[in-house]
Each structure stands twice: as C-alpha cells, then as structure tokens.
Amino acid sequence: MSSTSLGIGLAVVFAMLLLYNLFFVLFYENILFQGDSLDESYEFDFQFPYQEVLIDVEDKARLHGLLLKGDSSKGLILYFHGNRGNLERWGLIADDIRSQYDYDVLVMDYRGYGKSRGDRSEQALYQDATVVYDYARKELEYDNIIIHGRSLGTAISTYLATQRSVAHLILETPMTNIRAVIPTLDFLLIKKSWLQYEFNSLSRIDAVSCPVTILHGTEDRIVPYELGYQLYLDIDQSEKKIITINQGKHNNLDTFDIYQQAMERILK
C-alpha cells in the first residue's frame, strides 16, 4: 500500500470517528432518555384510583407523579422507573406492585417525561429524587419507605439510598455505570468529557447501609447480568442478596416465580 493510500485511509477513518462523535453529542441524550412528554391537561385512562402529585423544584422545574394507595398499607414504595415511556406505562406497573404487596406506591416521571418539566442533568435527577423522598416523608408522612429502582432508575435509587434513611433498596436489572452498558464509549469518544451522564452506581454502592436486593436475568441483552453481579459484590455489608433469574431478560422478570417469591419476602 502506498503512503498516499494509507493517508487517505487514515483520513477516512478519522472523518468517520468525528462523525460518530458529532452524532453522539447531538443525539446521545435522546437515545438515553426515551420518554414522551404529555400536556399538563392530559387525563390518564387508568381503571384504578390514583392521585396526581405535583412537586415544584427550586430551579423552576416541576415534577409530576402518581400516588397509588391501597385499602391498607405497610408503607410506601418509592419507584424509579426505566428510561422508556412515561406514567402511562409505569402507572400500570406501579399498580401491579400496589395490588400484589399491599404497599402504597409513589412513582414520578423524570424531567422531560410525561408532565414533568425542567432542564435535565444527572445531578438534577439525583436532586429531584431527594426532593421526592422528602415530600413523601414530610408531606405524606410515610415513615417506612422502600426504594425500588428499575434499569436507569437503579442509578437514581442507589444515589438516594446513600443520602436518606431507607428500609430496603430493591435494584431490578441494575447497571454499574453507563460506560459498562455501552463499552464502546471509552474507545470511540475523542473527549471523555463529552459523556455528560455517568450514572456510576459502582462508585457509591458501598455507602448504602440499608438491606439491598438485586434482581437480574441471565439473558438480559440491555444491561448484562454480569453488571448486576459486580454491583452485588461491591456492596460492603452483609444484608445483601442477588436473585439470579435464569433465562430472565430485561423487561420480563416479574413473569418468573423466583421474582415474585423474592418480592414477597421483602414486602410481606
């Protein structure tokens, strides 16, 4: 190969890398956060009772959520959902939890999801979680609060469990950090600082002092099981469990008996 051909080849590779980085910077947030917004006047068509919750945040953001209450309650599950959809979807999942386990459930949409508004950043999402927790504790007067995070919500849940008193932390399909979920990032990004979201639960899980249960499927193609297991190993206390769900995927764990049995042990 001539030096001219080699130079052209390297230029093409570099140009492709620049295009990848440009695409990543422009669209990464849209890929990571796939939640549709809803008009503030939108009415949900749920077949169960619910209360809409609005919480104003200091930076002029507003958080919207649903509070589902049973006839009797053992406490509150504060549920942090995954990166897709909004409360149209997650309200149904929250009601399944409420109806099965006799806990009230509070589930909030993140900024930019559903009726929630505000500029989004990783730190803003963490701060929102503490605001919602404090609202549940002070305004709703719940003493027994369990945090349940799913997928993206596990990173937010883990952070919150390091900041507030929690009865139990449930992590469903958790990641260690976003770079581990998308391992090509470190290799392909020209500037590592372009990665605005880290969601590094691995760096803080050892600061969680409450009991922790991890639920993860061996066939998870979105957040591999190995990441949940690595997170489990880094929990620096004895009250921890990992429930390995053979053949379980990212979005079907609740269809397995072992999942239901684990939730029964935690919540009943």
Q: What's the CATH architecture for 3-267?
A: 3-Layer(aba) Sandwich (3.40)
In whole numbers, what is the pLDDT of the chain averaged over residues?
Answer: 89
pLDDT at residue number 190: 44
Query: Residue 208's pLDDT is what?
Result: 97
Under 8 Å between Cβ of 67 and 53? yes
CA distance 46 to 68: 11
Chain center to CA of 20:
26
How many other CB atoms are found less than 10 A from the CB of residue 17? 13
Q: How far apart are CA 123 and CA 163, in angstroms?
A: 13
**Do residues 173 and 222 make contact, with C-beta atoms less than 8 angstroms apart?**
yes
The whole-number pLDDT of residue 70 equals 81
Low-confidence ranges of the chain (pLDDT < 70): 1-27, 183-195
What CA–CA distance (Å, rounded) separates 228 from 233?
A: 9
User: Identity (one letter) of the amino acid at 119?
Assistant: D
Is this structure's pTM higher than 0.95?
A: no
Q: Residue 172 has which token pair?
A: 């469903």
d(CA 174, CA 185): 19
C-alpha distances in angstroms, 207 versus 138, 173, 178, 202, 204? Answer: 24, 20, 19, 10, 6
112: left (phi over 0), alpha (psi -120 to 50) or beta: left
Report which of 229, 79, 252, 213 is spatially closest to residue 157, judged by C-alpha positions.
79
Q: pLDDT tens-digit profile of 26-50?
A: 567 777 899 999 999 999 999 999 9
Rounded alpha-carbon distances, angstroms, from residue 263 to 59, 161, 205, 219, 258: 36, 19, 21, 20, 9
